Chain A
Amino acid sequence: MNRARSATVVAALLLGGCGVQPSGVTDAAEAPTGIAPGVTLYFLDQNGTLRPQQRRSGRLGTVAEAVTLLLYGPGQSGLRTGISPSESPRAEAVTTPGTIELRLPLAAGEVTPPGADQIVCTALATHIQSGGPARTTVRLIFTIPEPGSDTPRTCPLISPRAPGR
């Protein structure tokens, strides 16, 4: 009788061991991100220093949208920009692991070095906010390049060792 009972227990254990068992709550991964009340653009103040500006657009948008918005200029905010205004600003972005390639409707001569930082920082900020890693470089591709204008760049205000992916 006892043997029969223990045999039943063993069989139950063996059969119970098969298949998917319920589990407790398990930590699995980083939470997804990318939601934001607006987009961060970078302009220059009176001293020519790089400054972030929040645009309450209601959503984060893509890197290309953010850079396009940057090309439209600072508007009435009292900040300046190092990028020459253009007729129909429209940037294109191709993101590969570690690099964002920005195709700009501008000649290299139309952008000052701080202006280039503005573009790089804006692109990186959006990239980070949408969950991308901070250790990413940006290549600017102008309509008329200058020697060294398409080297990978980083933003002086954003540390590549910032938390996040």
Chain B
Amino acid sequence: MRWWPRGLRVRLLAACALVAFAAAGAAAWAGAESAGDALLASHGQQLTRTVTDQVGAVTPSLSYPPDQATLDRLRAAVGGDTLVTYRGLRSAAGTGPGLVTPELRDAVRDGNRLVTQRVVAGGTPWLLIGTPVVITAVDGTRRPSGIEVYTARDLTGVDGRIDDLTRSAIGAAALSLPLAALLALLAARSVLRPVRELRDTAGRLAAGDLGARTAPVGADELADLTVTINEMAGSVQASMAAMRRMQADARRFAADASHELRTPLSTLTAVMEVLADTADDMEPDARESARLAIAETRRLVRLAEDLMEVSRFDAGTAALRVEEIDLAVAVRESLRARGWLDRVEVEAPGPLPVRADRRRLDVVVANLAGNALRHGGPPVRVRLGATPGEVWAEVTDGGPGLAASALPHVFERFWKAGSSRTGPGNGLGLAIALENVRLHGGRLTAGNADGGGARFLLHLPRDAQETR
């Protein structure tokens, strides 16, 4: 059961209105209470004075000791619901006598004073007045005469007026409610507006707009918070800018370095071609050295080209040129061009049309198949297939597979597995393959097949979008 409202505004409003209503209600109620008490007291005084005067007016003419007739006269003088007693005699009329309480009777007997008591009988409020009639001596001393007068006066009129007072008090308190609600609304607005602005700013910051700021207003805690958030955003913005600059510097360095290497390497390659043509005429030792130099130079050229390719991916300048091709045909051509068709089994269910960049797909296939041939063991298989939205290619080998610790790093640049993964690769092949697949909007995952060999799974969307 959750009935407490969640919103800050509603809670503020409810609390404010409640407090104001309670305060106004308490004040009005206390006022009505004391006014009612005063009303009751003055009414009681008036009643007792009337009774005293009525008794005092008739007593000098009453015989003492009194007889029944005297008591009747006294009772008639007081009027209404009255009981007059003298020792064994009593004169009573109305409902008043039945209301007289024992404590009132005791108070009248014990003291020489007029006493009163309020009682409620049958829903009607009564003021009971009880008094002895005293004998005053010439010197002023007073002693009881034995005559006691009890009378009951109806307080219904006063009760009604007190009820009116209470009703008007409740009304006054209720009047304070809209005022309190209005004040609470104003207070809530003044508090919540800066909070809302801060929330908007924080949202824009989270969405990447690092320039978002809130102008602090005033000098309260919210303004402090605003200033702090602005400072935080400023420092995040500064460090992000520094990081981007450093990244860009690093990429530019790699691109520049590989580009600068290209020209001398081309020259070197040309020289090596000449050297290769003449190598057969050399002495065996010199020929061996020349072949090694030629091979290493080729690796160097390849590394420089790969680094340039990676730099293009990092710079975002790698372009995708899609055309309608058949994946099965593309894979077979790729393998045939490298002379691997007899070492790799290709299983294709039929034509697999896909929109892809032929050159980049060739790079991916060559990388995956070459990897399997180099690092895994036979048999190397490429299975092709299609789902409604995608085509897929699975490359498996019969080697020892990928170690569990190696799996997260397979696609990292310059990463090479342990002893079984040394070889001619430069560690950029799989990273470049992954970038190419991503450029198509596809996925490339590495794992191990059930038989134990490494298993690379390539998914390509059927309709990759051309970029630039």
User: A interface vs B, CB < 8 Å?
Assistant: 14, 17-37, 40, 52, 58-62, 125-126, 128-131, 134, 158-159, 162-164
Contact = CB atoms under 8 A, between A and B. Distances in A.
Nearest to A34: B59
Interface stretch (B140-148, B193-201, B223-231, B368-376): B140-148
Contacts of B141: 163-164
Contacts of B63: 58-59
A65 B33 CA distance: 50
Interface string B46-66: 001101100110111111111
Interface string B143-162: 00101010000010011001
B136 A129 contact: yes
B280 to A, nearest CB: 103
B220 to A, nearest CB: 34
A97 B244 CA distance: 108
A95 B66 CA distance: 27
B270 interface: no
Contacts of A62: 60-61
A28 B138 contact: no
Nearest to B127: A20
A23 B117 CA distance: 6
Nearest to B125: A20
Contacts, number: 160
Contacts of B40: 20
A28 B45 contact: yes
A1 to B, nearest CB: 10
Contacts of A21: 118, 120
- Specify the main secondary structure of chain B where it touches its partner: mixed
Contacts of B436: none
Name which of B140, B155, B163 has the most chain A CB atoms within 10 A of its CB: B140
Nearest to A155: B138
B285 interface: no
B59 A20 contact: no
Contact of B163 (A14, A19, A25, A134): A19
A36 B132 CA distance: 14
Closest 6 CB pairs of A and B: A34-B59, A162-B140, A164-B140, A20-B125, A32-B55, A163-B140
Interface string B253-285: 000000000000000000000000000000000
Contacts of A158: 138-139
B111 interface: yes
B162 A32 contact: no
Contact of B62 (A23, A27, A59, A128): A59
